[in-house]
Amino acid sequence: MSDRLISVNPTTGKEIASYEIHDEKRVEQAMKQSRKTFEEWRQLSFSKRAVVLKNIAKEIRKEKDRLVKLAVMEMGKPISQGYYEVEKCAATLEFYAANGAKFLADEVVKTDARKSYVSYQPLGVVLAIMPWNFPYWQVFRAMAPTAMAGNVIILKHASNVSGCALAIEKLILKAGAPKGLLQTLLIPSSRVEKLIDDPRISAVTLTGSTAAGSKVAEAAGRNLKKQVLELGGSDAYVILADADLDLAVAIAIRGRLVNSGQSCIAAKRFVVVKEVYKEFVERYTEQMKQATYGDPMDEKSRIGPMARIDLRDQLHDQVLKSVEKGAKVLCGGFIPEVPGAFYPPTVLTKVKKGMPAYDDELFGPVAAIIEAKDEKDAIRIANDSIYGLGGGIISRNRGRAEKLAADELQAGSCFVNDFVHSDPHLPFGGTKQSGYGRELGSFGIHEFVNIKTVYVK
């Protein structure tokens, strides 16, 4: 096994940096520092913690150019989307700085006691296992509420974005945060289980694949440690007969191509009722043909490369296997003869159960369009998935669409006439094999606290 983690530019396929893997001595130093920092950090008032979070937000904005270019280099993020990502991180830190004290205020409950209330105390050191697709947002989405609640974080980031991981730790320290509030460990995934076993780790949060979530849940469960798991998704967008097709196509394009299609909550399946199926397919395919890929450093490029060659090849294999089983390619569906990990926007129709395009998560710019007989059949197809992260309904009848989204779609986030996205004001997470627990909103800050009953007779 290599003793270094390698960063490869997916646009060129060339190595850009390598990082020495942290040995057990370095891990032990980090664990000791985390426990020491936690005992100090947990004693600070919410107002003092808020000052630190706001200073980190300022530092993110100050460093935004460097941060964005690093993400473009390490995982191929289109540069304009990179700027949006880092601003969202800063805004989320400010959101919890402003609202953390309110969310975690003691809650008085009337009982037969002289005094009784619910209080919230931090748990300790939270291990954050994060993916490469949003190398800053995924981290700060977890870190902001977790730290505001009084916890500290050990970050195990994806190996191909080690530069981003180290940049996060550095900017947090530069912002005046205490040493140990967040520490990055450069270790391979094979050493994560040992970290979870360490009694100094109090809880675990992971964003990643369903397979990775299952392994983490097993290790954390064996140690009786709290987990939050945000896993894979195969979001279905139901397009009803009365949908505004201009809006439907625009939402479907943006929802499928965000982050070059590499998002857990990207639109992946489009379930279209038969009345508008043909017209939607024609219009959507024409738009996908026009959405060309290019250098992610060019602000005009809507789509960059996929993050790694092996991920691109895996996606292509899913397309080929779907075609073998009867799916039809309307555009894309090939590996371009250019350097890097590019894959063209691809549309598949005649998609049926038993195909990877129907059953599995397509983590890249490939859209599966499925025809439904009617509204009831469309909802059935949308829910016919092991995943339940997000979903959407597109219809002119907002009231009817809202009822379907609220009562019928089996997903953690259901949107009407918009593409699924996260917002710090609202809880985010999934159901079924898309995981459990919630990030963001008031729910996110309550995940890693001891909900304590205090009863005074």
Active site residues: 230, 264
Q: How would DSSP label each residue in 230-269?
A: E----EEEEE-TT--HHHHHHHHHHHHHGGGG--TTSEEE
The overall longest dimension of the chain from CA atoms, in Å, is 76
Tokens 């140990």 belong to: 180
Nearest to 131 by CA among 148, 155, 105, 150: 155
Give the contacts of 29 (CB within 8 A, at least 6 positions apart): none
The number of beta carbons lying within 10 Å of the beta carbon of residue 178 is 17
Sheet-wide strand order for 346-349: 328-331, 346-349, 366-372, 267-273, 235-239, 390-394, 413-416
Nearest to 326 by CA among 349, 344, 360: 349
d(CA 130, CA 246): 36
d(CA 216, CA 190): 11
Paired strand residues for 228: 205
Residues in the chain: 457
One-letter identity of residue 251: I
Give the contacts of 211 (CB within 8 A, at least 6 positions apart): none
Alpha-carbon distance values, 275 to 233, 278, 369, 449, 450 (Å): 27, 8, 14, 50, 52
